Amino acid sequence: MTSQKIYISWTAQIIAAGILAQTLFFKFSGAAESVALFSKLGVEPFGRYGAGVTELLVVILLLSPRKAWVGAFLGIGVMFGAILAHLTVLGIESDGDGGYLFILALVTLLCCSIVAYIRKGDFFAFFYTLT
């Protein structure tokens, strides 16, 4: 991997991890906005805690040089779920946020996709060692 790709990957990893990490406080503290969002989805409180734990795992993996590809793929799955929830139940604009949470989900999805693409060699190497 070239140094330019490493810089791009780390930039995307840090952006995605930063976005996910800052939302963890709201999920784990039971902030009213987070409770309302997961209540609207019909999965409060277990969905909120489950999403929080999963996102914490994504943050840890994205910041781990050898496992960033795992975090990227897991992050892609989590963000697809968040985007789908916005498009089907929550709406793009949720509780007057101007679409902020939806945009953060899109940015995180983009960053995780960039990391997954750049680090696809790690993905294939892992599965090659299993055979």
Question: 50-92, pLDDT tens digit by residue?
Answer: 999 999 999 999 999 999 999 999 999 999 999 999 999 999 9
CA distance linking residue 48 with residue 65, whole number of Å: 28
| b/e code 13-38 from CB counts within 10 Å (16+ = b) | bebbbebbbebbebbeeeeeebbebb
Phi, psi angle pair for 19, to nearest 5°:
-65, -45
Q: Give 18-61 as a DSSP string.
A: HHHHHHHHHHHHT-HHHHHHHHHHT-TTHHHHHHHHHHHHHHHH
Using alpha carbons only, give the angle 50, 16, 114 rounded to the nearest 5 degrees.
115
Q: Is the per-residue pLDDT at 129 higher than 90?
A: no
pLDDT at position 115 is 98
Cis ω before 45 (30° cut-off from 0) = yes
Q: Which of 121, 119, 94 is nearest to 105 (CA)?
A: 94
* pTM exceeds 0.95, yes or no: no
pLDDT band at 108 (very low <50, low <70, confident <90, very high): very high
> Residue 58: which domain range?
3-130
pLDDT band at 23 (very low <50, low <70, confident <90, very high): very high
Domain total of the chain: 1
